[in-house]
Structure 1
Amino acid sequence: MTTFAAVDLGASSGRVMAGRVGPGTVELTETHRFANEPVRAGGTLHWDILALHRGVLEGLRRAGPVDSIGIDSWAVDYGLLDAAGALLGNPVHYRDGRTEGVRLGIGDEKLYEITGLQKLPFNTIYQLAAARDTPQFEIAQRLLLIPDLLAYWLTGETGAEYTNASTTGLLDVRTRDWSAPLIAELGLRPSLLPPIRRPGEVIGEHKGTKVVAVGSHDTASAVVGVPAAGEHFAYISCGTWSLVGLELPAPVLSAESRRANFTNEGGVDGTIRYLRNVMGLWPLQECMREWGSPDIGELLRQASRETPVVVDLDDPGFLPPGDMAQRVAKAAGLPPDASPAKLTRCIVDSLAVAHKRAVEQAQELSGRHVDAVHIVGGGARNELLCQLTADACGLPVLAGPVEATALGNVLVQARAAGVIGGDLAALRTVLRDTQRVVRYDPVRR
C-alpha cells in the first residue's frame, strides 16, 4: 500500500493522519494530535501559528516515510510575509473583533455578483479592510492563507490553493482567479496575492517528499470525503461550524441566493460548494468547556429526555467565546441555572432546525432536489443530532465518515500519485466500499 500524510488543522486542534491506500483499502492512522489554542495579546486574538507548525513537524516525523503530504485547514485567515519571506506577526483569529463595523466601498449586490460569497464579517476581504492601514500591511510583500503558509515553511514555495482562496472574498467566482476590481477597491498591490494553484498540483518538496495541493479548505476536503452515490445529496460538514449545502457544477448568483446568505465556494475538480455557514457545535463546545468537559455520551442521553426548546443559533451573539451557557439560557427563556442536559437539548434541537432550514433553502434556490443528507465530521458521532436532523428534514441522514476531511485530503493525494483514478464519483465509490456509515431514518410523529 502507498502512504500519504494528511495534515488537518481545525479550529480547536490539529492532527497529522497517515493514510494507506491500496486496492479496495483506505486506512487512516492518527500519528499526532495537538491543541490549537488561540492567544490574546495586546487586545487582539491571534492563532499560535508557530505552535501549529511545530505540531505539524512532529506529526510528520511520527508518520515516518510517506509518498506525499497534503495540508488543509479552516478558511479566511492569513499571514503576511516581508520581502525576505519572514512572517510579520502571528495571524489574527477570525473571531477577533477587529472587523466589527468595517464597511467596503463596493455594494453588497456587486460583491456577490463577483464573488458569490455569503456575507460574513470575518471573511478575508473585511479583515484586510480593517488591517490595510497598519505598519505590517504597508511592508508586506505576500499574503498566504494558513495552509499555504505552512506549505511555504515546508517547501519554500508560495501560492494560493483555489478552494481556500475562493473563501476570501477576493476571487472571481466565474474566472476562478483573483478579482482585479476588488483588489483595486481595497487598495491592495496585486503582487501581494500569489498565483492560484489547483488540488492535485505538486507544490514542492519537504526533505525529499512531495507536498501536494489538496482541497486546502477543510470543508472542500470534507466534501470529497462524502460517500454519496449520485448527485442528489445534501452534505453537512459538522464540527465547530456546520457547513450545509449541495455540490453543484456552477454558482447560483441570484438576488434570492444573496438575500438568503448562501455562498458559492470552490470545490475539488471545479465544483461549487453551494452552502450556508450554520453556527454548528460551537455553542455546545463552549458550554462543555464551562461545565468542565463532562462525558458527552451521558450528557446527550440525558438531553434526549428533555423537552425541546429552539433558539436561532445563527444569531451573531453566539459567535464570541465565553459565558455561552448563560447566553443560550437567556435566548431560550430558560432560568440562568438551567441544567446542562436542558441546555444541550436546546442547542442540538436548534442545530437540527438550522440544518433543515439550510437544506430546504439550498434546494429551492438551486433547483436541485436531494434524496438524502450526509453528515460527516465530528457531528456524525452525535446520535441525537443525527436523528433530530433526519426528523427535521424528513430525509434519511447518512452519518459518517467522521474523518471525511482527512479521507478527502488523502484521496486527492492518492489520485495525484496515480494510486487511484477517476472523478469524484469514483473516489466516493472507494469511500462507500471502505468506510462505515450509519443510517438514520426520520421518525414520523
Structure 2
Amino acid sequence: MKKVWAFDIGASNGRLMLNSFDGEKMYLEEIYRFPNHPIHVINHYYWNILSIFSEMKKGIQVSVQQGHDKVESLGIDTWGVDFGLLSKTGELLANPYSYRNPQNAKGMEDALQLITSEELFRQTGVETAPINTVFQLYTIKQQNPALLETADTLLLTPNLLAYLFCGEKNNEFTISSTTQMLRTGTTEWETDILKRLGISSNLLAPVKQPLTIAGDTLPSIHKELQIEPVKVINVAGHDTASALAALPLEDDQSVFMSCGTWVLIGVPVNQPVTEDKAMQWGFTNEGTIEGKYRLQKNNMGMWLLQQCRAIWEREGIDTDFEKENYLFEEAEPFRSVINPDDPRFFNPENMIMEIQLYCQETSQPIPTTQGEMIRCILESLAMKYNWVINRLEKLTSKKLKRIHMGGGAIRNKKLCQLTANATNREVVAGPVEASSIGNAIGQWIALGEIENMKQAREIVQHSFSVQHYQPIKSSSWQSAYERFVQLVDETSS
C-alpha cells in the first residue's frame, strides 16, 4: 500500500489528506484540518502564508505521529489568482494580498484604460474580473510600486507553498490559467499585456505542465519534521482542476460543478471558447490536468451562507446543517430571490443586512428569520446555476443532461436537491473531497502508478461513493426562475 500527501488549501480552510493506493483502489483519510481566512489590516486583506505553511508542517507531523511517515510524494492545490513575490535572494517580500482586496476594483478600472476587456479575453480566454492576477499586479504598481520594483519572482499560491517545501520556482499550468496573463491555447505568458500595463514579464516564473516533479523536499524540512526526502509534484494546482480530475464524468453531456466558497460550473473542451457570447455571459477558459481546458463560469457558492453563519455565531445563535435544513423547511418557498453574484455580496460588512437591503430595493419581502434567509440564499444559488448551465448548452451546442457535483458544499444535501430541481437534471454528487482526490491522482500518474486519466477515473468510480438526486418537478420553479431572470437582467444592467 503506497501513500501520498494531498494538501487541499481553500479560501476558508486547509486540510492534509492521506491518499493510499493498492494498485486497484484508493483510500482517503483526513489527517489534519485548519481554518484559513484573509486577514484585514489597515484597509487591505492579506493571506498569512507563513501560518498556512506552518499548519501544513503540523499536518505532516500529525501524519508521522500516526505512523504515516513513509510517503511517496506530496502535492498542493489551492484557490486561484493569488500569489506571493520573492526577492532576488529568494525571500518572501510580504504577506500576499487576498483577491478580496477592495483596491483591485479601481486597479482594474484604470488598467482597462490601457487595454480593453475584449482584447484581454481574446488573448487569454479569461473573464475580466478585479480578482484576476493581472489587475492585482496593476493595483500594486499603482499603490505599492516599491514592492514590484524589489520583486524578482512571482509564484502563484500552490507553487509558492511548494517552493517553501522544495526551493523550486515554477508556476503550474492550471493555476497559471487563472491569472488572465497566459496566452490562450499555450503555456506561454502573454507578455504584450504586461508590457502595455508597464509590468515586467521577467517576474513570472516559467509555466510547467501538471503531472511533473518539481523537486525533493529541502534538507531543512527533513531535519525539522524528521522525515525522509519526499517528492514535491506539480499536481493540478487550481483546486477546481483537481476536483474535475476526480469527478466521474460519463460523457460529453455532463457538466461539472466544483462546490465550495465559490461554485465553478463548466464543461471540458479541447480548445478555449472565446466567442463574443462567452465573454458577454462572463465565462472563462482555464486549464485541466490533461493540458486541455474548462469552459466555465465562476459563481457565488457557500460564501453567502458562511457570512450569515458568522453573524449568527457572533450573536450567540448556534447553527449546523441539520438545524438549517429544519429552518429551511419551515420557511415559505420562493418568497424572496437575489442575484447571488451581484457585486454588493462580494465582501459586505454585514451579509444579512446587505441581502435584506437588496430585497427591499427590489420590492420583495425582506427575509427576517434564519429560515427565510437560508431559503432565499439556497434557492437563489440553485436558480443561478440553472442560468449558467442553460448558457453552457448554447455555447457548446450540446444537450447537458447530467450534473456532477464535487467538493465540500455537497454535504449540504438541500443545495444538491435544489440544484436538481432548478435545473431539471439529474445530479450526481460526489466524491466530497474531489479536489484532494484529484490532487492525489496527479501524484499517482506522475509517479507512474496510474497510467492515465481514463484509468484514474475508473479507479475513482469503484473507490468512492456518490449520491444521486433526481429532479422533483414543480411549476413553482419555472415561475420563480422567470422572476429570477428578470431580476438578474434588471440588477445587472
Tell me the TM-score range normalised by the shorter chain.
Answer: over 0.9
Deviations 1:273-319 (A, max 9, x none): 11111111100010011111512222122203422232100101000
User: Partner of 1:287 in structure 2?
Assistant: 308
Query: Does 1:324 pair with 2:345?
Result: no
More helix by share: 2
User: Partner of 2:100 in structure 1?
Assistant: 95
Query: Does 1:372 pair with 2:402?
Result: yes
Deviations 1:45-84 (A, max 9, x none): 1111110000111112222221000001011111111111
- TM-superposed CA distance for 1:335, in Å, is 6.6
Q: 2: distance between equivalents of 1:296 and 1:318? A: 22
Give the aligned length.
Answer: 444
Q: 1: distance between equivalents of 2:269 and 2:329? A: 35
Query: Does 1:194 pair with 2:205?
Result: yes
Query: Does 1:171 pair with 2:176?
Result: no
- TM-superposed CA distance for 1:321, in Å, is 4.3
3-state DSSP class of the match of 2:462?
helix
Could you tell me whether the CA contact under 8 Å between 2:247 and 2:404 is conserved in 1? yes
3-state DSSP class of the match of 1:100?
helix
- TM-superposed CA distance for 1:337, in Å, is 7.0
Which stretch has the larger CA shift, 325-334 or 192-201? 325-334
Query: Does 1:298 pair with 2:327?
Result: no
Equivalent residues in 2 for 1:248-397, closer than 5 Å: 248-292=269-313, 293-306=318-331, 307-308=333-334, 309-333=336-360, 338-397=368-427
Fraction of identical pairs, as percent: 34
1:417 to 432, 447, 460: 447
User: Partner of 1:37 in structure 2?
Assistant: 37
Query: Does 1:72 pair with 2:102?
Result: no
Could you tell me whether the CA contact under 8 Å between 1:229 and 1:428 is conserved in 2? no
What letter corresponds to residue 66 of structure 1 in structure 2?
A: V
Q: 1: distance between equivalents of 2:454 and 2:271? A: 17
Could you tell me whether the CA contact under 8 Å between 1:22 and 1:419 is conserved in 2? no
- TM-superposed CA distance for 1:40, in Å, is 1.7
1:432 to 447, 461, 486: 461
Deviations 1:80-110 (A, max 9, x none): 1111111111001111111122222111111
User: Partner of 2:481 in structure 1?
Assistant: none
Q: 2: distance between equivalents of 1:276 and 1:381? A: 22
Which stretch has the larger CA shift, 52-61 or 180-189? 180-189
Which stretch has the larger CA shift, 52-61 or 67-76? 52-61
3-state DSSP class of the match of 2:193?
helix
Q: 1: distance between equivalents of 2:190 and 2:398? A: 29
Runs of 4+ aligned residues of structure 1 deviating over 6 Å after TM superposition are 334-337
User: Partner of 1:400 in structure 2?
Assistant: 430
Could you tell me whether the CA contact under 8 Å between 2:255 and 2:400 is conserved in 1? yes
Structure 2: gaps (5+ residues): 64-68, 223-228, 475-493
Which stretch has the larger CA shift, 342-351 or 226-235? 226-235
Could you tell me whether the CA contact under 8 Å between 2:367 and 2:373 is conserved in 1? no
Q: 1: distance between equivalents of 2:256 and 2:81? A: 21
Could you tell me whether the CA contact under 8 Å between 1:2 and 1:67 is conserved in 2? yes
Q: 1: distance between equivalents of 2:74 and 2:281? A: 38
User: Partner of 1:120 in structure 2?
Assistant: 129
What letter corresponds to residue 238 of structure 1 in structure 2?
A: C
Could you tell me whether the CA contact under 8 Å between 1:229 and 1:429 is conserved in 2? no
What letter corresponds to residue 323 of structure 1 in structure 2?
A: N
What letter corresponds to residue 428 of structure 1 in structure 2?
A: R
- C-alpha distance 298-258 of structure 1, shift in aligned 2 (>3 A): same
Structure 1: gaps (5+ residues): none
User: Partner of 2:152 in structure 1?
Assistant: 141
Equivalent residues in 2 for 1:153-232, closer than 5 Å: 153-206=164-217, 207=222, 208-232=229-253
Could you tell me whether the CA contact under 8 Å between 1:44 and 1:92 is conserved in 2? yes
What letter corresponds to residue 268 of structure 1 in structure 2?
A: I
TM-score, normalised relative to structure 2: 0.88
Q: 2: distance between equivalents of 1:82 and 1:366? A: 44
What letter corresponds to residue 84 of structure 1 in structure 2?
A: T
1:110 to 82, 103, 119: 119
- TM-superposed CA distance for 1:37, in Å, is 2.7
TM-score, normalised relative to structure 1: 0.97
Q: 2: distance between equivalents of 1:379 and 1:82? A: 38
Q: 1: distance between equivalents of 2:368 and 2:201? A: 53
